[in-house]
Amino acid sequence: MEPALNSALRTQPRFPADVAAELKQAGWHPGRWQIRQAEEWADALVAHGDPQGVQHSVFPAAIEAWAEFGGLAFDLSGAGREIARTPFLLDPRRGLHQPRTLADLGRALGRRVAPLGEEAYGQALLALDEDGRVYSLDHAGEWYLGRSVDQAVGTLVLGLRPERLLPLDA
């Protein structure tokens, strides 16, 4: 790789400016790492299951996402680039009572899935899989928000259209 190109790649910002501004307003900063809080959430999720014994999955990608982004609230509304923006909260406790829903999604994906938060004051559940990909589940179906929490936050903040997950038999 040429030195000038290598230098340009190193200075590329992690987030677009408008996403970075919303993250800052929500309380995020580079190096944010609330690991104790993330571990407490992991313990609470593991201790909670549904009456049929379905338990939450907890894995490194979830704990890392909760440590860096957990507790951030985004008070968004209005037009986005492609769809209307809605407020969202990154707090895995919002999925505490949804272990079966998350397990069902995980079976369909062939990956374990953990709660990440909610959109629109509980109208949609945010979740991530063990590879860090992020999804939104609402009354209309399941949606793919991005290959990482960074990309999913960008999708939500910018009002980009998520990709609909289709049934395997479709």
Per-residue pLDDT of 69-119, as tens digits, reads 999 999 999 999 999 999 999 999 999 999 999 999 999 999 999 999 999
- Domain positions in the chain are 12-164
DSSP calls for 46-114: HH-B-TT--B----HHHHHHHHHHTTEEE---SB-SSSB---EEE-GGGGTT-HHHHHHHHHHHTS-EE
Q: Is the pLDDT of residue 156 over 60?
A: yes
Per-residue pLDDT, 50:
81
The tens digit of pLDDT for each residue in 11-32 reads 889 999 999 999 999 999 999 9
Q: What is the pLDDT of residues 36-57, one digit of tens each?
A: 999 999 999 999 978 889 999 9
